[in-house]
Structure 1
Amino acid sequence: MTKTTSAIDFFSSVTDPRVERTQKHSLESILFISLCAVICGAESWNEIEDYGNAKVDWLERFLYLPNGIPSHDTFNRVISSLDPKELNDSFVAWTKSIAELTDGEVVAIDGKCMRGSSDDGTGTYTHLVSAWASANNLLLGQEKVAGKSNEITAIPKLLRILELKGCIVTIDAMGCQKEIAKVIIERGADYILALKGNQPEMKGRVADSFTYIKPSSEHVMEGKSHGREETRACTVITNLENILDRDKWPGLKSIVRIESRTKDIKKGTVHKETRYYLSSLETDAQYINHSIRTHWSVENQLHWTLDVAFGDDASRKQKDNGAQNFSLLNRIGLNIIKNAKVSSMGVKGHRKKAGWDNDYLLYALKSF
């Protein structure tokens, strides 16, 4: 393959699980065709095969295809049998080489369940925890949640393979754990961990602190979008005398309260909510308020886009590691698309353009 395909050089370290004598198609070709197809809108193994057959002349500019385009069964069988950890490690190595995380960049950690991936009707789904770099607009890595486990076990594994020095890691309530705080500090980052009802005693003490301890800093953020007016009041306290086990939380320096008020402009309805956080930051409320607000970009820029533009939630790939590995192809494709835009069209529009225009697809691949 030529230098123009350097965006997927990381595939070269992935082990081919097949017996050599059965290999009619190289692993490099299978992965490259799959990635190009996904970028151009393919959401199933059959669509990957169809894309390959439609673009075979173009693909032969980069690949040696003595046996033509693999069948959809071959794409399914080979990609589903790849070691997902090895594939993800290669993906993380790639993102480390292209991402330039800046001090203070918010890295949002959040989980997503692929609703279509249950294979037996019992409600057992593929559940992934992802790390999203807000300023870079990149997915940094993902970790599968073990079958009978939860995100608490997957989050530390994900954190340990990422480069996080100088970043601010934000996690919802499931990740508000001492061990997770410890890993974040060890990785040279700071944290803002949401505190909810799963830790009632801690939440109660934090809430009580705001009734009689003088705030260290306060900030109000106002905005209007999507037919709503929002006000977010952030209050930070660095006096932790009311937090009995504060010394057991590595790096803990402040507690945070966010009081949000959202008004539907058309309906006139108002929704109020108060949320609490633990943080290793000892900075001003404006900085923390912005960081917490930025966390939700993982929902809008990653999860929502994967579902709407890539059909990720509807995916019914059930064979072996098919769902997890195909989801990673989706995420690689999303990284490439989001960082190769040359116009204001949405992700779906860019996928179509890449499918129609080989030069645009090549431009996208060369962007990395």
Structure 2
Amino acid sequence: MDAMGCQKAIVQQLVDEGAGYIIGVKNNQPTLAQAVQGLLEQAPARADGRTWHEHSETDKGHGRIETRRCVVCHDLSAIAPVLQDWPGVRSVVLVQSTRQPVRSGRFGPRSTEQAPEPSWRYYISSEVLDAQTFNATIRAHWAIENNCHWVLDVNYREDACLIRRDHGPHNMATLRRIAQNQIKLDASKGSQKTKRKRMGWSDDYLQGLFGLMPGSVSHAQISSDG
């Protein structure tokens, strides 16, 4: 869960329902963010594998080399007063990412002269996991988020939307995701962008996709007819 979900009431609800969590920490909770950052800055040079864990991995692709270093601390006694209002926290996590752009060369990829782009992300978690597992779990979450955002921006121009007032942004985001989910159910040929346009061109296709007409065709029928 990203930093927007870093609210005491949300964390309490997750604990009450017996759910685990990994939640991003940013300056929307300044006291918590300062405490977590301060503790993780005290990480020893070598993790002991008990209260401190560390793991690094490097990937190449999409025109860059990315290194992700994950540091985890399970001994939270030093920040216990701050965490008393945050139920269930058993670990704090740092993920440091560094991206180095590369370019293709005759003898393989070469680093560019552009400086690496470092970033730091902090998390609280109810789980007691090692750094490698945290690293993989957080990366998987962001892969899903990035893919979803890319589709919504390209097909629905979400970032260019000028709706800002009241519940408008939330309502429009919900409608986009409903439309996107329905389009995914249609297995007929054609890109998602084409199917979105078809929803605007054909009332029969739109109503059939949402099951709004009596005797409307199923998704399997849409697939075979399309």
The TM-score normalised by the length of structure 1 is 0.45
Partner of 1:331: 177
Q: Distance in 1 between matches of 2:86 and 2:93?
A: 15
1:239 to 68, 75, 83: 75
What does 1:81-160 correspond to in 2, within 5 Å?
Answer: none
Give the C-alpha shift of residue 315 in structure 1. 4.1
Task: Tell whether the 8 Å contact from 1:209 to 1:242 is kept in structure 2 after alignment.
Answer: no
Does residue 1:210 correspond to 2:47, yes or no? Answer: no
Q: Distance in 1 between matches of 2:156 and 2:26?
A: 32
Identity %: 34
Q: Read off the aligned partner of 1:265 and give its amino acid letter.
A: V
Partner of 1:351: 196
Aligned residues: 197
Distance 1:215 1:308, change over 3 A: same
Q: Distance in 1 between matches of 2:121 and 2:165?
A: 40
What does 1:1-368 correspond to in 2, within 5 Å?
Answer: 170-172=1-3, 174-197=4-27, 198-199=30-31, 200-211=33-44, 214-216=48-50, 217-245=53-81, 246-266=83-103, 267-269=112-114, 270-297=116-143, 299-315=145-161, 325-341=171-187, 346-352=191-197, 362=208, 366-367=218-219
Question: Which deviations, in whole Å up to 9, do the C-alpha atoms of 1:51-103 show, x marking residues without a partner?
Answer: xxxxxxxxxxxxxxxxxxxxxxxxxxxxxxxxxxxxxxxxxxxxxxxxxxxxx
Distance 1:333 1:350, change over 3 A: same
Greater relative contact order (Cα 8 A, min sep 6): structure 1 or 2? 1
Give the C-alpha shift of residue 279 in structure 1. 0.7
Task: Tell whether the 8 Å contact from 1:237 to 1:254 is kept in structure 2 after alignment.
Answer: yes
Decide which moves more: 308-317 or 244-253. 308-317
Give the C-alpha shift of residue 207 in structure 1. 2.1
Task: Tell whether the 8 Å contact from 1:196 to 1:203 is kept in structure 2 after alignment.
Answer: no
Question: Which deviations, in whole Å up to 9, do the C-alpha atoms of 1:213-252 show, x marking residues without a partner?
Answer: 7344333333233211212122222122222323432111
Distance 1:336 1:231, change over 3 A: same
Distance 1:297 1:338, change over 3 A: farther
Q: Distance in 1 between matches of 2:144 and 2:25?
A: 18
Distance 1:273 1:313, change over 3 A: closer
Q: Read off the aligned partner of 1:187 and give its amino acid letter.
A: E
